[in-house]
Chain A
Amino acid sequence: MIEVENLTKHYGQHVALDGITFAVGHGEVVGFLGPNGAGKSTTMRILTTFLAATSGSVHIGGDCVFERPNQVRSRIGYMPENNPLPIDLRARDYLVFRAQLKHLSKDMATKRVDEVVEQCGISNEENRYIGQLSRGYRQRVGMADALLANPELIILDEPTSGLDPNQVRSVRSLIRKLAGKHTVLISSHILSEIEMTCDRVIILHEGKLLASGEMNKLISKSNSKVVAEIRAPLIDIKNWVNEIALEDSELIEQKNGYVRCQFSGTKNNDAREQIFATVNERGWELRELSRHTPSLEDLFVSLTNGKEGNR
């Protein structure tokens, strides 16, 4: 569906994208992950034909975005960053207007607007001015617009940014429902966000492609931290930790005789089973045993460290 090769974009002197190559297949839900300024929006603007690239090639459904922009545009439903909408229109009127721009006939436009209004849950608010809608509802209007022409490819730039947790949850479930029927590309700077909605992730950092692949494989490659709170004499725990030789362990004494043990650097195997077995065997008490998925920062540290180590 999407083929990007050696994509480079310069804004004047500033290099926003530096030779990115990736591909997205039909029906995949792919997340674009990276901190602010990584180049996610720039890539999406090039994919949607809004901007031209400095060099490199981009094909969507086989059509080059630079040479056949209108074919590409009719394949894509796009919600730009910050979801810009005209505040002076009623939600429904806006969607009808957008349907006309997307070449839907009058009957078809009415039908599709009804459908997306239903699908995105804006039936109760469709006759209110967009300027009066809450952020969550505006986001749904933006998504409804992206879905209007039933496009093969849906591109959403930070669809959950600025929403409260409930709204985030509803947007997320909407995105998940799109999977299978459409190819979806969403961007986010929050790792858990992408983890929850996407099959595959593409990680950008300062305009470079850092990693790409299945989310859980990437996470398991990085430092995930295991935490256990155990009630046992500190000295026993220390001996045991040395015995099993877990890397980078940190022991902190808590109230009521508990010791908080943090193990990081358990790169390849999950230490939880081993810990539980020991605790059971020795008759210690356990009140917490958990594995913390790394934050985006942790993931970056592990990904970039590997690279810098090679240099």
Chain B
Amino acid sequence: MGYHRIITAFLTIIIKEVTRFVRIWGQTILPPAVSMTLYFIIFGSLIGPKIGQMGGFAYMEFIAPGIIMMSVINNSYANVVSSFFGAKFQRHIEEMLIAPIPDFVILAGYVFGGVARGLVVGLVVTIVALFFTHLHIHSYAVVISIITLTSMVFSLGGFINAVYARNFDDVSIIPTFVLTPLTYLGGVFYSIDMLPEFWQGVSRFNPILYMVNAFRYGILGVADINIFHAFAIILLFISGLTTFALVLLRRGIGLKS
């Protein structure tokens, strides 16, 4: 298959993926906008002033980057896990599997879809945030690269989850029991400086801490962690998860009997 054909196949998958989440925007884009608005109102406007400053910023300003990041993480993951599991469940994944598409193109197509949804939701939540606070961007390069790379990590995670999932329950286990706790404990709402030393050490094993803080650094210019460590960790996750996903595809795990 020449590279023209590969590009056509890739474009077909990404158009299909983007069309899917745009068509059902009431389930994919609206809910995060609504729930994140609630976070801003409750934590930012109502509780925030009582908390005062955090990391040298008003509480609202401090949590805004974390909340944007949280919505990007959740939505990238949710997009790929539900789209790919849905394709397996309705069996139209077979349309791709019988065609001469290299595995990495299928993976890249789904990951692109997840990143697209993550970024669209991230943008919507950012716009919501602007109603509540000012966001001065410290470094556009960091903001854009961190958000895109993080979105890739969780799109890959969603893909792997979907490969193993046998029913709709399996699709929600990881988000509920792994992603949500790690995000809440990843410094979205607080600076880990506030924690006792022991828990600060434990927190440093949470990869989401690095992503949230790197993103916060991009916007506010402050972080609990070293930004280069954040990039290294994210890239490590991307390469590990990509390799894992490609092995699963090649072996046909969960796809071929």
Whether A associates with B in a native complex is no
B residues at A contact (CB < 8 Å): none
